[in-house]
Amino acid sequence: MGVQQNNISSNHNNIVKLKRLYLQSVPAGSIAFDGLVPVGQVDWGFQDHLFNTILSKDATAYQPADAYTRRFLKFLIACLERNLAEDEELHDSILTLYSNLMSKPDSPSDVTKPTFITYLLPSSQSLSQEEKEGEGQVVISERKSVLSADGHTGSRTWEAALALGEFFLFTPLPIPKPIPQSRILELGAGTAFTSILLSKLGAKHVLATDGDEKVCEAIRRNINHNRCRNDISVSQLLWGASQEDCTVYTESWDLIIGGDITYDTRDLSDLVFTLKKLLVANRDKGAKAIISATVRNESTLRQFDTELSVAGLTFKVQEIDESGRQLWYYGSDTPIRVYTIC
């Protein structure tokens, strides 16, 4: 009985892992399907649980794109066939879904159309009560195949933002107040993945800012998709002296955050100007800035370090290793660093 119970638990955990990958639209060819099904023991019950948990219409309100689901099913069905137990068959519902998707024509514009990407959160006592009552997740409308669109890079959630999210979920934070008591400002929010995550963790107030008004409009839609019940808002903010009279600088902040906002050397001095102005104004509260940066070019981050030092800001840097990239799929092993600045 104990062995059977362990197998049921293991199968369920693997199905949840597979759901996490599916909802994030991880490239199907990169998913280790064989490690997530019972080898040679796939039966009707396992497939039924898999279908109802991942693929049915009731499994999630925000399904991935049809083209992605079709490719996912192609790999999944091949894996299930290899591992069917004796006298077992493929589940009718899985085959019917695949057949229906195969009959749908593709459009050339499908590649660049926004699709829903869902990032499942871990079961955690730190989630707000609303999230505990359902399945904790962050839903973002993205164009994953597009590096930039409409003159901005805010159409997808970048790896450094994911790493920043994991940092807030699993790392003791060097801030004076716990997140539920903190007022948080995000710079260069992009899709606002991290802002929405922190709202779901119960932050007292979150303001997601970006320099592009079209990005701000998309952030508002993402907030609506997530039905955030805590206090979260959006505002356009340009870094540097051009907007130094903006009311954001007169408000109280405990934490300033940013994910992958250091990539353009032309913006670094304005970014540091904004960081300093915010931190100095909130120094008596012990405010900190936590910024994640993908290491695409060492010289860019050396310039960022220099700008921080010249501005009189102190900082420490933490490398995010493999243990800090466990929850979501990153797609590359490019180094990521997290700066804590004060």
Domain boundaries, given as residue ranges, for the chain? 2-107, 115-341
CA torsion angle for 264, 273, 221, 18 (degrees, to 10)? 60
CATH number of 115-341: 3.40.50.150
Half-sphere exposure of 120 (CA within 13 A, CB side): 23
Task: With CA atoms as reference, report the closest residue to 128 among 163, 178, 167, 174.
Answer: 178
Per-residue pLDDT of the chain (342 residues; tens, 9 = 90+): 444 544 667 899 999 999 999 999 999 999 999 999 999 999 999 999 999 999 999 999 999 999 999 999 999 999 999 999 999 999 999 999 999 999 988 776 666 789 999 999 997 645 655 555 456 999 999 986 555 445 445 578 999 999 999 999 999 988 888 999 999 999 999 999 999 999 999 999 999 999 999 999 999 999 999 988 779 999 999 999 999 899 999 999 999 999 999 999 999 999 999 999 999 999 999 999 999 999 999 999 999 999 999 999 999 999 998 889 999 999 999 999 999 999
pLDDT score for 148:
45
What is the C-alpha separation between 304 and 247, in angstroms, rounded?
26
pLDDT score for 155:
72
pLDDT score for 124:
63
pTM of the complete model:
0.91
312, with CB counted inside 10 A (0-12, 13-18, 19+), is exposed
pLDDT score for 151:
46
What is the C-alpha separation between 186 and 192, in angstroms, rounded?
8
What is the C-alpha separation between 229 and 171, in angstroms, rounded?
24
Please state the separation of Cα 238 from the chain's center in Å: 24
pLDDT score for 335:
96
Question: For residue 115, what are the contacts with CB-CB under 8 A and spacing of at least 6?
Answer: 25, 64, 65, 68, 141, 142, 143, 144
